[in-house]
Amino acid sequence: MNVLILGSGGREHAIAWKLRQSARVSKIYCAPGNGGMASVAECVPIKLSEIDRLISFAKEFRIGLTVVGPDDALAAGMVDRFEAEGLRIFGPRQACAQLESSKVFAKEFMQRYGIPTARSANFTDSGEARKFARSMSLPLVIKADGLALGKGVIIAESIEQVDAAIREIMDERRFGDAGRAIVIEECLEGPECSIHALVDGGSYLMFPSAQDHKRALDNDAGLNTGGMGTYSPAPQLTAELEARVRSEVLDRFLEGIRAEGLDFRGMLFPGLMLTADGPKVLEFNCRFGDPETQVLLARLESDLLELLESVIDGTLAKCRPVWAGGAAVCVIAASGGYPGDYVVGKPISGLGEVGDKAIVFHAGTRLEGAGLVTAGGRVFGMTSVGSSLRQARDEAYAALARVSFEGMHFRRDIAEKGLQLA
C-alpha cells in the first residue's frame, strides 16, 4: 500500500518511520515533509492549504491511506474532503475536530458529560469578560477560543494582566478570529500528563502515558513552546489515576460523542492536569502530540498501519498493541532564540555519528547541497528507548552531544521529574 502523511514535524517523521516497518506498506510520501525524512519517505512540495492538489496527488499516486498530522488541517475539513472523494484517511472529521479547534465547544462538551475540567465561563463580549473576571479570585487562565499555535493561553496573576489578556485576544485580535470568543477559567495545580487514545467511534484504545515539557528553559522557566521534550511512561499517572482517566474522561467522552452523533475516528489526546482532586482535562487535542508521538511510536512494537486502519474500520476492539516495556525519552534541539525570533539556514553537523542507541526525528530541517541545515524553531528530536527511564535519558543526551549547529539549545532536565519518582 502507498501511504501519504500530511505535515512536516517530528511527529510526521515518527509516523513515517513507524509505518516504514510495516510489511504492507510499499511507498511513503510526505507532504510537505522535511529535509531529514528521505530515508523513510519521499517528500512532495504541496502545502496543506492546497487540499485540491493533495486530493489529486492521492488519486494519481494510488494512495491507500492518508494520515493527517496537524490540527489546522483537521479543522479545515481535510478528512471530510478526502472522504467525499472516496479516499481513505486517518483523522477526525471537521465536526469532531471542533473539540480542539474551539475551546468553547470543548468546555461545553465536557460540562454536558461530566468530564472533569477547570470551572470556567465563555464570553464573546470583552466588557462582560472583564466584569466576570472581577468576581473571581486570581490567578485566572484566559484562553482564546480558536487555534493559536499553542500561544492563546495566558495565565494572569493580577487584574491588570487579566485586562491585558482580554484586550490582546478580543479587542486587538492578536490571534485573529481565534479571539472572537474566550474562555476564562480557574487556575489548576499539579503535574501535567499527556494521554493518547485511539477512538473508532465506538471504543477507545489508550496508549501509554507521556509527559511533555512546554516551557523553553530548565526548571520550567521561560516561555511556552510547542514542547521541548517528553518521556513515556509518566510515573505521575499511577494505576489508580489511570483508572480514573478511563472512567471519568475516556468513557464519558465516548458516551458524549455517541449521544451527539459525532462519529469521532482518530486520535484523541487530552492534556490533563493531575490535581489534588483528581485528573482534570486542560484541553482536548484531536491528533497525535508532538513531541509525544516521538516517544510513543518509538515504544510501539506492533504494526501502526493495523491500528490506524482499525480506527477507520471500527474494529479497534480487536487490537492488542505491544509496547516496549521500559521507557523512552525525547529531547528537542531548538534554534537559538526559539520560541522567540530565530535565524535559520545553520548547517547541522554530527548526525552521522548518533549511533544506533537513538533515533533522530527531524522537524525544522532542510536539505541544502549535500547537507542539512536548520529551517525552523524546533529542529529535531533525539529519542532513545531504554530498559529504564534513566538509561533512555542518558542515551538520548549522549547521542545529542554528538550533534550541533550554531545557536542550538535544548533543555537539560527532560525526564528529571519522572526520575525523582521512579
Give the binding site for ligand GLY (CB under 6 A).
Answer: 212, 227, 285, 289-290, 292
**Cβ 308 vs Cβ 1: under 8 Å:** no
**Contact call for residue 306 and ligand AMP (CB under 6 A):** no
Among 15, 65, 188, 250, binds ligand AMP (CB under 6 A): 188
Cβ within 8 Å of residue 310, ≥6 positions away: 198, 200, 316, 318, 319
Indicate which of ligand AMP, ligand GLY, none lies near residue 292 (CB less than 5 to 8 Å, by partner kind): ligand GLY
Strand 2-7, strand 27-32: pairing = parallel
**Nearer to ligand GLY among residue 200 and residue 290 (C-beta):** 290
Q: How far is the CB of 221 from ligand GLY (least distance, A)?
A: 18
Rule CB under 6 A: is residue 187 a binding residue for ligand AMP? yes
- Residue 292 or 309: the one with the smaller Cβ distance to ligand GLY is 292
Cell of 20: 516504514
Q: Which is nearer to ligand AMP, 40 or 332 (CB)?
A: 332
Tell me: does residue 71 bind ligand AMP (CB under 6 A). no
Measured over all CA atoms, what is the biggest interatomic distance in the chain, rounded to whole angstroms? 61
DSSP string over 252-274: HHHHHHHHTT---EEEEEEEEEE
Query: Binding residue for ligand AMP (CB under 6 A) from 14, 141, 245, 286?
Result: 141
Q: How far is CA 71 from CA 66, 86, 202, in A?
A: 15, 22, 22
Helix %, strand %, coil % of the chain (to 5) = 35, 30, 40
Nearer to ligand AMP by Cβ, of 16 and 142: the residue is: 142
CB-CB contact of 123 with 184 (8 Å): yes
Residues in region 237-276 near ligand AMP by CB under 6 A:
271
| Strand-pair category, 27-32 with 42-43 | parallel
Chain residues 196-235 in contact with ligand AMP, contact rule CB under 6 A: 214
Q: Which of 15, 41, 73, 153 binds ligand AMP (CB under 6 A)?
A: 153
- Least CB distance to ligand AMP at residue 340 (A): 18
Question: Cα–Cα distance between 290 and 14 in angstroms, integer?
Answer: 10
What's the min distance (Å) between Cβ of 136 and ligand GLY? 27
Among ligand GLY, ligand AMP, none, the one that 185 touches (CB under a kind-dependent 5 to 8 A) is ligand AMP
| 283 near ligand AMP, rule: CB under 6 A | yes
